[in-house]
Structure 1
Amino acid sequence: MEILLVDDDQHSRAAVAWFLREQEHMVMECENAAEALAKWKLADYPLVLSDIQMPGMSGIELAQVITEQPDSWRTDVVLFTGYGDMKTAVAALRAGAYDYLLKPVDAQELAAIVQRVSEHQALLRENKALTENFDAQLQSATKNTEQELTRMRKMVAETVIGNMGVFSVSMQQVTDLAQRFHTDRALTVLIQGETGTGKEVVARIIHYGSNLKSPSGPLVELNCAAIPHNLFETELFGYEGGSFSGSSSRGQKGKLDAAAGGTLFLDEIAEMPPEMQAKLLRVLETKEYYRVGGLKKIKADVRIICATNVDLEKKWKRGRSGAIFIIA
């Protein structure tokens, strides 16, 4: 989440900023309210965290000015101060502040408030989008669903599983293992093998099963070697409308969205940028993710299958970026 942090105390500001960045939020720091107000008018900040006692414009005055703006709904203001009393708290809430904290800021309390703001802003933005663009949203969702169904039918029709012959004992063992993986979507699978050995076929067996009759959900494929590094995050996670310059105002679903209820097949996984490996690992651990610029956590109901022709264990031992994936 984008957070505007305002505090004339450099040490206090730096400590809060460090904590928020550790929680994977993006923080813009300002040392006074006038600077913060100027930045607020130029960008979308769902949360403004401001000290109350500052030279010039106070935090309460900043909250009042933001509240008076036509688009003030897109920001929740949380104020904090080292001089807390009931009168100050009442003044902060009357100025339109979402909440009020005392210095020194308690980390757990701050994390809880940021989470509440995230959920509150997500709800506000979803409601506004539905209110203003209900028909367009409905048509878009229907069209996307129809496209997904068409793509699924095409992939099933084109699969080579139904026409595949298995003649060696070792390949029979591989297909039997893949079939067992098919029955447990909780498993994350890494397929390693030289080019041309049938890694994609094995991935399809894991997803569809050997007879193509069991429900499998969508199979979404992403070739990690074909995606420019600067586009990888939006391609995988999607993004919310207006998240960055040049982005669509309606946003875009990512491959994790498209694969919901099914399987995401990450081919050439060794080519994934190192910084994306950590983010993907977080998805595997928590089963949740944010779209780029998003405020709402999304449940990742998806099986992950990865494939590579690189020996990731040897690559890791040589000190290069290596595997972070569970080898099933």
Structure 2
Amino acid sequence: MLQKSLSLIITKKCTADCDICCFSCSPHVEDKMPLEDALNYIDQASQIQQFTAVGISGGEPFLYYNDLIEILKRCKSLNLGFSCSTNSFWAATIDNTRLFLKQLTDIGSLTLNLSIDEFHSKYIPFQNIKNVLKVAKEFSNLSILLGCVCTKTSKKLHDILEYLGDDIMGYYIASSPCLPVGNAETRIKPEDLFIFENSIDKKCSGLSHLVVMPDGSTYPCCYQGGFTPALYLGSAKELPLTEIIKNFNGNMYCRTLENHGVKWFVDKIHENNLPIKLKNGGYVGICDVCHTLFHDPEYLKYYEPFLDIEMYNIIQRELEKDAVMGG
């Protein structure tokens, strides 16, 4: 699978301390990607044909607004698409909202992904979101996507829509279940999580991103459950992105997830009585399964013998194809 998007988590610092945050971000966390590193990664991505866009997330990227402006300018100059996630803390007034959005859209087209749910609303008033939705209609090169994370006991999408009223007209909003990772692992009760019975049978669809964390560590998945030792691809501070991509292609966890999904690993655990703890009550989704399988580095040694066999089988299949092609 080709990574089409470079995702930069430029900070874990945030104005909020949400119970659902997968990175456990808060005002007290100081992790930040140096601007020169971010620009370097973008420059490298522009030289790799498969990359078409850059996404900025956190934490709260707007805390480092000057960096954000420079990143957007660099993306624009290199013809890379650009998106950014935000909780909209900066949109307390219409005038302030218009000032920020005009500065951004004067540089180029962009997509803003807004977080709007019960958990963020403890820190960011819904009025801030309404301000963004109202002002965004003034800019033809600005797209807005809204995301609402829910638990069984939290406010749902229909509750959120009541707060937004007519301002939501013309925008896309999606609801997703809370995953038990990061803060949610300890702050959200297991009985409050949505459980989906067919989670194990699904294949992974999230391996189309290259994510770089503030410290330079890289992963092939931008979903909350994917930041695990098994999927670690190396440090972008030490390796060029071209080598990171080679690491992805040589990572048997990534290849097996891509080819077979999480069920391959679950089956190996059951068939061989591996000492890996699975959940009895089901999973929130495939990302929850993935995180359960790979979050503990001690688990990896139990998978390795089976991955070696899978690698051998892949090589044999390729050799057979070459033999057929060679006539």
TM-score (norm 1): 0.32
Which structure's relative contact order is higher, taking Cα pairs within 8 Å and 6+ residues apart? 2
> Between Structure 1 and Structure 2, whose CA radius of gyration is higher?
1
TM-score (norm 2): 0.32
